[in-house]
Amino acid sequence: MKKHRYIPMTQQNERDMLAAVGAESIEDLFADIPKNVRYEGELPMSGALDEAALLRHMSQLAGRNADSDRYASFLGAGLYDHQVPVVINHMISRSEFYTAYTPYQPEVSQGELQAIFEFQSYICELTGMEVANASMYDGATAMAEAASLAGGATKRKKIVISSTVHPETRAVVRTYAYGLGIEVIEAGFDNGVTDLAELEALVDGDTAAVLVQSPNFFGAVENVRAIGDLIHAQKGLMIVSANPLSLGLLEAPGKLGADITVGDAQPLGISGSFGGPTCGYFAVSKALMRKIPGRIVGQTTDKNGKRGFVLTLQAREQHIRRDKATSNICSNQALLALSASIYLSVMGRQGMIDVCDLNLKKAHYAAKQFGAIKDAQLAFASPFFNEFVLKLPEGTNVHELNAKLLEEGFIGGYDLSAEYPELGPAMLIAVTERRSKEDIDRFAEILEGSL
């Protein structure tokens, strides 16, 4: 016990358990795994460390990360370095939220249900939709679930997705679609936005839905209304993935004809945390309310007229419908949904407008500075929010360029060469409210000196 004081396991416990399962040693438990695929020997790591040495070692390892507190980040591509108000971590660290799980028993989960209900209400207001759930795992699975819903609602087996949708999201959509027997067709882009002529040629009476992202993966704002008109003419559904922060300035997708609006709530006060977790949102028109995946919290009154909250439309839940369930979503991201709700409440309507305005103006200032660098230029002329594509001189190695930027204290943009080789050397750059004029000017200086 002295050797592992936090692990309630003695050598006698180990012997008793081995005897109970009929094994002579721990090694016997792995006998079914062929020896040729098993690691022989010991892993190349240190022996046991005392508490002080372990903390020092872990701190040294953590210090090797290039985090956005010590480095100025121009990296976006789905996860963004926005300001996270300190009140958020204070609130979500409270034990009643931090330890809460799925609220199956509403009578003892009123606080959690109220928080979820408020998240749904905020999402509806932002997106212009009538019903929202709480919540999805992330933005990618939210869009895949939307495609699944569209296939079931229309009884059609084809969807068209724009190539300006995040590449990882498109991959998740294809994975879901494969299992459902849904054909996925990609529409190309022109000047950084969906090619409407090509899209029109692809959409027909067999198309369940068109999937677009706005602002899209390149940061450009799509013509959502025109795309919606194309698919609605064929009685299909319009699915829009939107950066929720951008909706402080841009028109709500629901007012532009979207039937389903999805996205990732990470820009709303959720730390990037080296890749996640995040929180997806999912909102629909009233006509699709009973087909929405996940869960919905409703507001009601008890027999005494007192306000209360319940899980509603339970017939669509997985634990009821089983093989007839509309999705495989059986949990949610309530803690992170609460983070987004706190962010929206402390920012308020004007605060959202102000932070969006900062993102817009700083990104456009950066685009002007970077576009003026010799042999570099903006890849597209389409309107954008806080992200844009910078084309670099032929032969530029973006990976090596980012390594130089890192040496100077900057996390560079996203290398687009793998997903969009037709663009040549190109970097996707995000500029949020956290970037100062000095950050932008210095970044431009280093870029110019490295090309």
Q: Are 18 and 26 in contact (CB under 8 A)?
A: yes
Q: Are 433 and 355 in contact (CB under 8 A)?
A: yes
- In 3D space, the residue among 192, 183, 134, 131 whose CA is nearest the CA of residue 158 turns out to be 183
Q: Among 187-196, 231-240, 253-262, 315-324, whose mean pLDDT is lowest?
A: 315-324
Instruction: Say how far apart CA 265 and CA 284 lie, in whole Å.
Output: 16
Return the pLDDT at 108.
79
Q: Are 446 and 71 in contact (CB under 8 A)?
A: no
Return the pLDDT at 344.
97
Q: Can you give the C-alpha Rg of the chain in angstroms?
A: 25
Question: Taking residues 230-252, what's their average pLDDT?
Answer: 98
pTM (2 decimals)?
A: 0.90
Instruction: Say how far apart CA 371 and CA 117 lie, in whole Å.
Output: 45
Residue 265 has pLDDT above 80, yes or no: yes
Task: Provide the edge-to-edge strand list for the sheet that holds 377-378.
Answer: 377-378, 387-391, 426-430, 414-415
CATH number of 86-342: 3.40.640.10
Taking only the tens place, the pLDDT of each residue in 65-102 is 999 999 999 999 999 999 999 999 999 999 888 887 77
Return the pLDDT at 1.
42
Rounded to 5 degrees, φ, ψ at 107 are -65, -20
72-84+351-450 and 86-342 share one fold: no
Average confidence score pLDDT of the chain = 93
Taking only the tens place, the pLDDT of each residue in 122-169 is 999 999 999 999 889 999 999 999 999 999 999 999 999 999 999 999
Taking only the tens place, the pLDDT of each residue in 398-428 is 999 999 999 999 999 999 999 999 999 999 9
Hey, where are the domains in the chain? 72-84+351-450, 86-342
Fold of 72-84+351-450: Aspartate Aminotransferase, domain 1 (3.90.1150)
Question: Taking residues 243-265, what's their average pLDDT?
Answer: 97
Instruction: Say how far apart CA 196 and CA 174 lie, in whole Å.
Output: 22
Q: Name the token pair of 16.
A: 């008793």
Return the pLDDT at 75.
98
Residue 9 has pLDDT above 80, yes or no: no
Question: Taking residues 255-275, what's their average pLDDT?
Answer: 96
Task: Produce one character per residue of 231-266: b if its CB has 16 or more CB atoms within 10 Å, e if not.
Answer: beeeebbbbbbbbbbbbbebebbbebbbbbbbbbbb
Q: Are 448 and 373 in contact (CB under 8 A)?
A: yes
Residue 14 has pLDDT above 80, yes or no: yes
pLDDT band at 354 (very low <50, low <70, confident <90, very high): very high
Instruction: Say how far apart CA 182 and CA 212 lie, in whole Å.
Output: 17
